[in-house]
Amino acid sequence: MPFLILHTPGGDLAATESIVDYLYSMFGTNVRAIIPQISMSAGTMIALSCKEIMMGKQSNLGPIDPQMGGVPCQAVLDEFDQAMQDVKANPHAASLWQMIIGKYHPTFLGECKNSIDWSEKLVEDWLNRNMCNGAPAKTKKILKEFSDHKTNKSHSRHISKDQCAQIGLSVIEMEADNDLQDLILTVHHAFMHTFGNSVCTKIVENHLGVAYIEQQQIMAPPRQA
């Protein structure tokens, strides 16, 4: 039974789609996600593609609504809708709204809409294919809870193990097996210490112990004249 340990603040939608496609090509849908601490945004999307998710009392997932430059896409669309309503009701407000929405380039609205549609379509397909196979109503409930910016209020909101279970995710309690929990947290703390106390940015190691390591480039201080 393949297990995938996830600890991430998130990432790019295209990379997320590629990772899940690769996992499915290697293991089919028989993949379980383990969340030792947090797996936010795109990390949550990967977790939702799995058959089950193992979480502890300290584990959290997060909303999957996409962002553009740190700005929630749905919030941008909502702001434009509010601007249109305000200007329609009071044309004198146009100059004020022009200052607020003038910071966005012309194609920004379309990019936000496409990102929202893309992320929701991916997660809907993955849930229907795996965790919620044969239960489309369950898929829609989970998707709404994780994708609705109006409900979650913030992209950085933490959604706990108990909340995930209440929403309808297939959650395995990490505390149910103390030996396994110790092994998971040992691995988690080991790589946290490794990356926190070294210049490593990426480590890829196979089952034979052969590793590829990328390191941060450190600029030498300028010489004194």
What are the mean pLDDT values of the chain's consecutive 10-residue runs (225 residues total)? Answer: 90 94 94 96 96 96 90 86 87 81 82 93 96 92 92 91 96 94 94 89 89 81 65
Verify that 163 and 123 share a domain, yes or no.
yes
Question: So what's the pLDDT on residue 78?
Answer: 87
Torsion over CA of 89, 91, 95 and 98, rounded to 10 degrees? Answer: 60
Verify that 149 and 176 share a domain, yes or no.
yes
Examine residue 98 and state whether it is found in any structural domain, yes or no.
yes
Verify that 60 and 137 share a domain, yes or no.
yes
Verify that 100 and 164 share a domain, yes or no.
no
Verify that 27 and 61 share a domain, yes or no.
yes
Q: Tell me the two tokens of residue 162.
A: 């108990």
Examine residue 86 and state whether it is found in any structural domain, yes or no.
yes
Question: So what's the pLDDT on residue 123?
Answer: 96
Question: So what's the pLDDT on residue 61?
Answer: 97
| Predicted TM-score (pTM) of this structure | 0.88
Domain count, the chain: 2
Please, which residues bridge with residue 5 across strands? Answer: 34
Verify that 15 and 36 share a domain, yes or no.
yes
Question: So what's the pLDDT on residue 56?
Answer: 95
Question: So what's the pLDDT on residue 22?
Answer: 95
Task: Quote the domain boundaries for residue 195.
Answer: 3-66+118-200
Residue whose C-alpha is closest to residue 6's, from 38, 29, 50, 30: 38
Question: So what's the pLDDT on residue 220?
Answer: 62
Examine residue 217 and state whether it is found in any structural domain, yes or no.
no
Q: Which residues contact 5 (CB under 8 A, 6 or more apart)?
A: 33, 34, 36, 184, 187, 188
Residue whose C-alpha is closest to residue 122's, from 12, 2, 5, 3: 12
Please, which residues bridge with residue 52 across strands? Answer: 32
Verify that 193 and 84 share a domain, yes or no.
no
Question: So what's the pLDDT on residue 92?
Answer: 82
